[in-house]
Amino acid sequence: MQIRAVVRGVGHYLPERIVENSEFETMLDTSDQWIRSRSGIERRHFAAEGETTSDLAAAAGRAALDDAGMEANDIDAIVLATSTADLTFPSAATMVQHKLGMTRGFAYDMQAVCAGFVFALSNANALILSGQAKRVMVIGAETFSRILDMTDRGTCVLFGDGAGALILEAQEGEGTVEDRGILATDLNSDGKYCDILYVDGGVSTGTTGVLKMQGKEVFRHAVEKLADTAHRSMAQVGLDHDDVDWIVPHQANIRIIKGTANRLKVPMERVIQTVQDHGNTSAASIPLALSVGKQEGKIQPGQLVVTEAIGGGLAWGSVVIRW
């Protein structure tokens, strides 16, 4: 017998306002055609004025609770992956805890930028395996629209806002790869690449700052590192590409998604794609894709799902889940 962190519910929330690529054509020297062909993005959602990351996260959390048939006080812990918390402190997670009406347990933020959700999943898995929590809500939520330089066509067209949430529950498994739940995780970071993707503000500058990215450099690392981490996490438990039902990748760029799937020898029919509708929502992109994939009837109980993500740090990783 082995304790496993099993998915009990999933949900998401997207702000109402949809921004089509064509909107950027009126502000910048860019085109719908360039954005589509270089990134696969067609549209993204932007939060309304006054709508914060914790608002998005709480809405996704409520949807996941509904899906699981649970109430907020059934949850022991909230781990919220975000780089766009409402305030410097307290954590957006504590705000979500309050917004959900959760009066027990504990909540905190996790910051690994676009890889945040895989770091948070791995951390929630550790909480469950160590017995510190039985039910953990893992959320990825971002309002990247607030940290974009709307005059930088190389970045502002790529990102969007949104939130997704997953509820994990401790259940007993047999200790085999047929068990439902998280089967393996692989996390990595390398701080020597801090300067290829960062926000030029924070406590040290007294400003919020805007996102700066050397897109080509990040791209170069992405395909290689994503395929490596996915191979490593699958190999930990003796699985390979033939065993995979769904790759649920971080949704940054369709060319990265295709390049990684190709290296993993998984056909695109087995890859969940939401980048066209959401843009890059950083830590929110994987839980959004999981929720949409389930809603569309693609991801089914018992299937093998591999998630992988890379972002600022650089930080990257993957998680293998039997859904």
Answer yes or no: are the C-beta atoms of 164 and 10 closer than 8 Å: yes
The DSSP bridge pattern shows strands 161-173 and 197-199 to be: unpaired
User: Which of 21, 123, 125, 280 does the annotation list as catalytic?
Assistant: 280
Residue 40's region, left for phi above 0, alpha for psi from -120 to 50, else beta, is: left
Stretch that binds ligand UT7, among 8-16, 151-159, 287-295, 296-304 (CB under 6 A): 151-159
The DSSP bridge pattern shows strands 17-20 and 106-110 to be: unpaired
Residue 12 pairs in a beta bridge with 164
Among 57, 60, 252, 275, binds ligand UT7 (CB under 6 A): 252
Q: How many helical (H) and strand (E) elements, i.e. helices and strands, does the chain have?
A: 9, 13
User: Which of 12, 21, 45, 114 does the annotation list as catalytic?
Assistant: 114
Site for ligand UT7 contains 259 (CB under 6 A): no
Dist. CA 95–CA 93, nearest whole Å: 5
**Smaller CB distance to ligand UT7: residue 299 or 314?**
314
Stretch that binds ligand UT7, among 34-42, 69-77, 103-111, 140-148 (CB under 6 A): 34-42
**Smaller CB distance to ligand UT7: residue 106 or 198?**
198
Active site residue 73: no
**Smaller CB distance to ligand UT7: residue 21 or 94?**
21
Among 75, 77, 157, 244, binds ligand UT7 (CB under 6 A): 157
Q: How is residue 185 written in tokens?
A: 């995780």
Quick count: other Cβ atoms within 10 Å of Cβ 291? 26
String of contacts with ligand UT7 for each residue 206-245, x by CB under 6 A: ---------xx-xx--x-----------------------
User: Which of 21, 250, 253, 278 does the annotation list as catalytic?
Assistant: 250
Q: How is residue 176 written in tokens?
A: 């085999």
Radius of gyration of the chain (CA): 18
- The CA-to-CA distance between both ends of the chain, in Å, stands at 19
Size of the site for ligand UT7 (CB under 6 A): 20
Q: Tell me, what DSSP letter sits at residue 96?
A: H
Contact residues: ligand UT7, CB under 6 A: 30, 34-35, 38-39, 114, 153-154, 157, 215-216, 218-219, 222, 252-253, 256, 280, 310-311
Active-site residues, by number, are 114, 250, 280
